[in-house]
A = this chain, B = another copy of it.
Amino acid sequence: MALDRDAKPAEAAQARVDGGELLSDIEFLLARARVRGSASANSALKPFGLRERHYAALSLARGSIAPTQRDLAEFLQLDPSQVVAVIDELQKLGLVERTPDARDRRVNIVTATPKGAALYTETRAAIAAARDELLADLSEAEQKTLADLLLRLAF
């Protein structure tokens, strides 16, 4: 048996490992925080049969400006071919529609159906509820600060 090597997994590694420099390494922290964020959102979305990317695409599709698939690819940082798959699935579920642009028939404009808009509202609430737990250690003000800083970093 190891001497100081038998504690609970989660905290153990932190106590046992010299994380030193990594713990102030913003890329490492971003990667780790994002894993927690994705897990939180995806777990909230699971009952609805959706994942993060579907939620994000649905959110944009029900916005005030109906996006093209190209717009979705750019904004969501997905390859156009990945957008095809996401929209295929959302369409199969009756949550969005593809409408060819009358002015340029190569273009598909993606809009949420009423069903899609309604489900978006539900899923948004589910994600927000999970988020409360995710961000429990941060005050409201800190959450706001974090979101602001991330927004400036993300774009």
Q: Which residues of B contact A22 (CB under 8 A)?
A: 56, 59-60
Do A41 and B17 touch across chains, with their CB atoms under 8 A apart? no
**Is A94 an interface residue when CB atoms closer than 8 A count as contact?**
no
User: Which residues does chain B contribute within 8 Å of A124, judged by CB atoms?
Assistant: 21
Within 8 A of B (CB), among A1-41: 1-3, 5, 9-10, 12-14, 16-38, 40-41
| Secondary structure of the A contact surface, majority rule | helix
| Count of chain A residues near B, Cβ 8 A | 71
In the complex, the answer to whether B37 meets A26 with C-beta atoms within 8 Å is yes
Q: Is the CB of A101 within 8 A of B154?
A: no
Q: A19 to nearest B CB, angstroms? A: 6
